[in-house]
Structure 1
Amino acid sequence: MDLDPSFKDKKKTIDQSSLLCCKLFISESRNHAALDAIERAGRLDPETVIVNKFPDRAYNRVRYTLVSYVMHDITGSAIYSPLQQTILAMAEAAFGTIDLETHSGAHPRLGVVDDILLHPLARASMDEAAWLARAVAADIGNRFQVPVYLYAAAHPTGKALDTIRRELGFYRPNFMGNQWAGWTTPEILSEKPDEGPTMVSQARGITMIGARPWVALYNIPIMSTDVSAARRIARMVSARGGGLPTVQTLGLVHGEDSTEIACMLLEPNQIGADRVQNQVEMLAAEEGLDVEKGYFTDSSPEMIVDKYMNLISAERD
């Protein structure tokens, strides 16, 4: 989006109380040259801040947490956010340095740029997050010729992320029962994407893009290499398996001597980490397994806003 000089000048004095947060998940954590290129792209615009980075070598996956503001026209409609071009720059760097056909890891994935999730922060609205998600989806689909599926508030009917992933085979390991390697999904998609082609580049894969209220990501280590037991526990904890409402889980191999229950807490203020931890410990005890204290992979929304404001103020001083 090209802006005239007067519009750009106005950006400098905007009240930064309407913020959007992007969780950008990329299928790579071992190739440092690729990560350096992605992070350089993420720093091109000082109005966007990378507030957190969470790489996981066993999963071969990294998540960047980005924050910037959103601007509105005189009617109050969202018209611009620096996040849009920053996300696209990071995606371009990822597509240019990562080949999904040579990728392997213990975490499922469907694409190089696997998932882009937008959250409203501070005084921003869900409509604004959904607007940006759809704008980024159109750009990625058209510019990079990558199929994009929208989910949650970005999707016309609010279709859930796990539903789309299940349709596309996201949850089925394709290598030795516990790893995801290369590309095995058909090159022609049976489910028409919301943006981009129906033909998949095996090197780039598919991208999921959504908008929804804050999701907490919480992982619980199981001191066992028995991935079948971890999957049984994960299933019984999840809402889908009749466990805790608004909790989604995966039982995954995590390193040479442990497994992990990777949890998405869709409403963390209602079903929080303590309750999930207790449930996992109880079920693991029935399997005769030890459990370590879980950990969040990101900061709270309040901490992210504070960090963004501090970093943006330091940048301008």
Structure 2
Amino acid sequence: MRKHKGEHPRIGATDVVPFVPVSGVSLKECVVLSNKLARTVSSKLKIPVYMYEASAKRNDRINLADVRKGEYEGLKIEIESNPSRKPDYGPSKMHPTAGAIVIGARKYLIAYNVNLDTKDIKIAKEIAGKIREKDGGLPGVKALGFKVGGYAQISMNLVDFEKTNFDEAYREIEKWAKKFKVGIKSSEVYGMIPMEALVRAVKKSFKAKGFSSEQVLEKRLYE
């Protein structure tokens, strides 16, 4: 971590380990597992651990962005001097190579990016500010503006697709993009996505009354 540089916020090499109740396990059980891992990581590896989301020990650590405030460089100083930045587990000192780590249980997160047809990163940052929850935007949406492959990108974490699904986020960005007089080049779901999110998108986009995951062929075959 002493030499690492990059665009994405981080406080450590691993940075974040989420426990997600995909199937056959509850969020509460994931909280228990996350604390078990935190104790192991802090005691065996001597890495400071911060708990977030459903596992958070404090309200100001529920949001991952709040835990990452100042990133590695800032936390490296504050962890030793600021009592409010003391980790939930482990030493109040950054690991020399691993930094710190955030662990917690959370709902399924959809990583979704929208690439604008412009190279002006300021527009991406402006739109990100309009749509993210903490600035009065869509509920459950975290968003940042980056430059990727030469084009402006709005990178999002949709932390609760039942509140704001990826199709709803797309339409909101499309609305703001038109106001800035730019188009959308493409969008991408980064990683896996729950079936229910796809079903919800179909129902809303096509007004498919009564449509459910029970009508998805593969789901019935694999049951």
The answer as to whether partners of 2:54 and 2:62 remain within 8 angstroms in 1 is: no
TM-aligned CA deviation for residue 300 of structure 1: 2.5
The answer as to whether partners of 1:153 and 1:211 remain within 8 angstroms in 2 is: yes
Range moving further from structure 2, 269-278 or 283-292: 283-292
The answer as to whether partners of 1:188 and 1:198 remain within 8 angstroms in 2 is: no
Q: What TM-score do the two structures reach when normalised by structure 2?
A: 0.78
The aligned residue for residue 158 of structure 2 is 265
Aligned CA distance change for structure 1 residues 223 and 106 (closer, same or farther; 3 Å): farther
Task: State the distance in 2 between where 1:284 and 1:152 align.
Answer: 31
Deviations, residues 262-295 of structure 1 (Å, cap 9, x unaligned)? 1111221331111111111221222222222321
Task: State the distance in 2 between where 1:131 and 1:157 align.
Answer: 16
Q: Is residue 183 of structure 2 the alignment partner of residue 290 of structure 1?
A: yes
Letter of the 2:45 partner, please give it: F
Partner SS, residue 284 of structure 1: helix
- Return 5+ residue gaps in structure 2 as ranges: 197-217
Among 267, 274, 294, the alignment partner of 2:167 is 274
Could you say which structure has the higher strand fraction? 1
Pairs within 5 Å for 1:79-228:
100-157=1-58, 159-162=61-64, 164-165=66-67, 168-170=69-71, 183-189=73-79, 190=82, 191-228=85-122
TM-aligned CA deviation for residue 122 of structure 1: 1.8
Q: What TM-score do the two structures reach when normalised by structure 1?
A: 0.56
The aligned residue for residue 81 of structure 1 is none
Deviations, residues 130-184 of structure 1 (Å, cap 9, x unaligned)? 1111111111112221111001211235641235335x323xxxxxxxxxxx845
Letter of the 2:76 partner, please give it: P
Partner SS, residue 153 of structure 2: strand
Task: State the distance in 2 between where 1:279 and 1:234 align.
Answer: 10
Task: State the distance in 2 between where 1:184 and 1:224 align.
Answer: 32
TM-aligned CA deviation for residue 220 of structure 1: 0.9
Identity, % of aligned positions: 25
Aligned CA distance change for structure 1 residues 225 and 142 (closer, same or farther; 3 Å): farther
Task: State the distance in 1 between where 2:152 and 2:34 align.
Answer: 33
Letter of the 2:64 partner, please give it: D
TM-aligned CA deviation for residue 230 of structure 1: 1.2
Partner SS, residue 105 of structure 1: coil
TM-aligned CA deviation for residue 216 of structure 1: 1.2
The answer as to whether partners of 2:112 and 2:156 remain within 8 angstroms in 1 is: yes
Task: State the distance in 1 between where 2:155 and 2:138 align.
Answer: 14
Task: State the distance in 2 between where 1:202 and 1:292 align.
Answer: 41
Task: State the distance in 1 between where 2:155 and 2:38 align.
Answer: 26
CA RMSD of aligned residues (A): 2.4
Task: State the distance in 2 between where 1:288 and 1:130 align.
Answer: 45
Q: Please identify runs of 4+ aligned residues in structure 1 that moved more than 6 A.
A: none
The aligned residue for residue 212 of structure 2 is none
The answer as to whether partners of 1:106 and 1:253 remain within 8 angstroms in 2 is: no
The number of residues matched between the two structures is: 194
Partner SS, residue 117 of structure 1: strand
- Return 5+ residue gaps in structure 1 as ranges: 1-99, 171-181, 311-317
Among 172, 181, 192, the alignment partner of 1:299 is 192
Task: State the distance in 2 between where 1:140 and 1:300 align.
Answer: 28
Task: State the distance in 1 between where 2:96 and 2:126 align.
Answer: 31
Partner SS, residue 154 of structure 1: coil
